């Protein structure tokens, strides 16, 4: 998650803002994920060069790239035991452990790029989280809601439902990565996601 945090901030340094959660196609549908947009910033320029933005993420060309998920998109502690060579193994190898937290009151919601200032306040706002129950295809323009994040957090008390027992790794707007406990009150979790300072 730390490598992703660095990539997001390097993207910001180049473009003046962090990437949007997704890019829409001509019909207004979510078509491309932020995980694709930051590929050049995680030393995946060649993979990025083969991705086509004139078709959706699961279009005929792009879908051929799904088996090339960068290592940093999967938690090293992500454990599963599917049969080698099985469709299940292929599917699980395409899932990213890391998702932006999308909320109407958060930094990310739609296809707008959040302008995050380096400040003490921004450092306390959640950008992304490590999830297991809601892991997503790494190229898909899909992320998690606060409710889904809370589900992953509460279920982390079970070893089979967690990459790290009893905690989730969370990335904040200042680039820091911290653990939050499964028993953190819901109000506190939601307050860390919100930018309005009201919670």
Q: What residues contact residue 81 under an 8 Å CB cut-off, 6+ apart?
A: none
Phi/psi at 25 (5° precision): -90, -175
CA-derived radius of gyration, the chain: 16
**Which neighbouring-strand residues pair with 98?**
130
**pLDDT tens digit sequence for 108-123:** 888 888 866 545 556 7
Q: Which helix (H) or strand (E) holds 192?
A: helix 186-193
**pLDDT tens digit sequence for 146-188:** 999 999 999 998 867 678 888 999 999 888 999 999 999 999 9
pLDDT band at residue 196 using 50, 70 and 90 as cut-offs: confident
> What 3-state class would DSSP assign to 160?
helix
pTM: 0.89
Question: Long-range contacts for 155-160 (Cβ within 8 Å, ≥24 apart)?
Answer: 156/132, 156/182, 157/182
Residue pair 127/100 in contact by the 8 Å Cβ criterion: yes
Which has more pLDDT, 88 or 33?
Answer: 33
pLDDT on residue 199: 43
CA nearest neighbour of 9 among 121, 127, 146, 130:
127
Tokens read off for 153: 């957090």
Q: What residues contact residue 167 under an 8 Å CB cut-off, 6+ apart?
A: 156, 179, 180, 181, 182
**Which neighbouring-strand residues pair with 102?**
108
pLDDT band at residue 89 using 50, 70 and 90 as cut-offs: low
Tokens read off for 56: 């959706």
pLDDT on residue 147: 96
Which has more pLDDT, 51 or 18?
Answer: 51
The whole-chain average pLDDT of the chain stands at: 88
Q: Count of CB atoms within 10 A of residue 52's CB?
A: 14
CA 49 – CA 39 distance, rounded (Å):
9
Number of helices followed by number of strands (H, E) in the chain: 6, 8
Residue pair 74/140 in contact by the 8 Å Cβ criterion: no
């Amino acid at each position: 998650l730390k490598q992703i945090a660095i990539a997001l901030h390097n993207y910001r340094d180049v473009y003046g803002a962090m990437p949007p959660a997704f890019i829409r196609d001509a019909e207004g549908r979510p078509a491309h994920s932020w995980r694709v947009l930051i590929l050049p910033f995680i030393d995946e320029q060649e993979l990025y060069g083969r991705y086509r933005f004139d078709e959706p993420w699961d279009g005929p060309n792009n879908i051929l790239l799904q088996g090339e998920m960068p290592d940093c998109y999967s938690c090293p502690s992500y454990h599963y035991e599917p049969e080698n060579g099985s469709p299940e193994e292929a599917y699980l190898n395409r899932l990213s452990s890391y998702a932006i937290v999308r909320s109407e009151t958060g930094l990310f919601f739609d296809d707008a790029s959040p302008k995050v200032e380096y400040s003490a306040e921004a450092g306390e706002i959640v950008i992304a989280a490590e999830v297991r129950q809601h892991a997503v295809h790494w190229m898909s323009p899909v992320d998690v809601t606060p409710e889904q994040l809370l589900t992953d957090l509460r279920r982390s008390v079970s070893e089979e439902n967690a990459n790290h027992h009893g905690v989730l790794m969370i990335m904040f707007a200042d680039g820091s990565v911290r653990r939050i406990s499964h028993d953190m009150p819901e109000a506190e979790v939601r307050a860390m996601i919100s930018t309005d300072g009201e919670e």
